[in-house]
Structure 1
Amino acid sequence: MSDRLSVLKTYKLYVGGKFPRSESGRVYEVTDSKGNWLANAPLSSRKDARDAVVAARKAFGGWSGATAYNRGQILYRVAEMLEGRREQFAAEVAEAEGLSKAKAAAQVDAAIDRWVWYAGWSDKVAQIAGAANPVAGPYFNLSSPEPTGVVAVLAPQESSFLGLVSVIAPAIVTGNTVVVVTSEKAPLPALSLGEVLATSDLPGGVVNILSGRVNELGGPLAAHQDVNAIDLAGAAADAELVKALETAAADNLKRVLRPRAVDWTADPGTERMLAFLETKTVWHPMGV
């Protein structure tokens, strides 16, 4: 018997709960740390970025209106689905980042645990971000957190999976929807994550995943008038790009989370959840 031909995986974008190819039809070669070819990834265009923003805005009302408990359940379901594909993701991370199998598996385990960690925060973050404010009068004055809206996320370049999860999960657990630009050199774990999200009860459009050039996609997302905030984690190595994106984001007063050195394996804390929340303050007369 002759050997079977390999059936190579065709990676696609994840936009609006579907798996389209880039509208431009472009792809680029993805290689491992030794320069060996792994696959072709879609090379997203500005049109893909605009389509992703439309999908994210369409999903925002339903996702932000869901109960915090329900959002936590869905994030926990993502962790369950990842647990079942742990070996696949460990292999992809090992190839993408040139890690040993043990170190790659440890990163995947940490990413699964991070979904669980943020799921637990879903119905608790309001307790630390909200307040009953003291006022000099017969009123209740209550502050409560609300999601900012559509968040553009430039995923970390050096941590293709754990870093990716660490910037997506805190943004969506509080009710935001996101458009994610993957690690440019190692997009495959992120594109595979789209398959998990599609089967984990997460509504289509809540997370939209684009692979391609950060300097090509970052600008249109930073300047987009229907994007409410941007996380610049993936542009940390290019100070000029960061400055240009901050300038573009200022046009519609986007919230900007500036890049800095981060140990993605450390306790993430609450900063990334709180970064994309607005505070609504309500006055209410006592006794009414």
Structure 2
Amino acid sequence: MGTWLRNLVRQRGGDHSSLRSTIEEIIEESEREDQEGSAIGTHERVMLANILHLRHLTAYDVMVPRADIRAVHVDSSLDDLIDVMSQGGHSRLPVYRDSLDDVIGLVHIKDVLAHAKDAAGFKLSRITREVLFVAPSMPVLDLLLEMRLSRVHMALVVDEFGGIDGLITIEDLVEEIVGEIEDEHDVAEGPKLVARPDGSLVADARTPIEEFEERVGAMLTDDEREEDIDTLGGLVFYIAGRVPGRGELIVHDSGVSFEVMEADPRRVKRLRVRNLPPWHVSSEDAEG
């Protein structure tokens, strides 16, 4: 992505006052209705907007809160450690002594597997790796750079008293730019379209456009199809030109409206779809 962004900015001639102004200009030009052959598509525009947003975020804004941190005690057996990592799908976990406020490092799944045949002689303290400790106010971009330079991909957010406030992985930071990353360990929950008695639909924003149009009929314009929009969330972003917030109402040219029911700064998550054609709901689909 870095090479892609550098090449895109270089095409602007390099005579802009700042990288931010260059990116903003690229986004604005790509959104113009009469813009033909835009240099970037919907997904790239989302990433550029997220990069600008990232400049204002701190470690506190993106951390996993303390209550949700999964960690292991330094005296954990090999079998217990494997169970915890396999159940949660984690490749790295913090290691602590007396409490979560006494973290001594992290354990990586690669090191655990390397000792899988030596359960009797296993000691977690021998394979514990370094972990970063950062202040809640640390800018996210500075943290991303620190992780790259140190090659340590986990950081614990520490308050002024030395207590652990939260945890951040490099995956969390990358997701702030490109959106949520799912791997083979993530539980797959298929996108859903749920009909409501009032004739509306409650939709997962990840619902494929193809599936949505099978339900309600073709509605995308030719311009929207050329943008290669894949999901309802992508369509809403395209119409709004940004990631809309919870409660916002986005109206399509067809008259179909999308109310944002759930969203975060990076993406829309859930939508209520109204003003649909009358034939889209079958009676057995409606919920009470």
Normalising by the residue count of structure 2, what TM-score does the alignment of the two structures yield?
Answer: 0.28
By relative contact order (CA 8 Å, sep 6+), the higher-ranking structure is: 1
Larger Rg over CA atoms:
2
* Higher-helix-fraction structure: 1
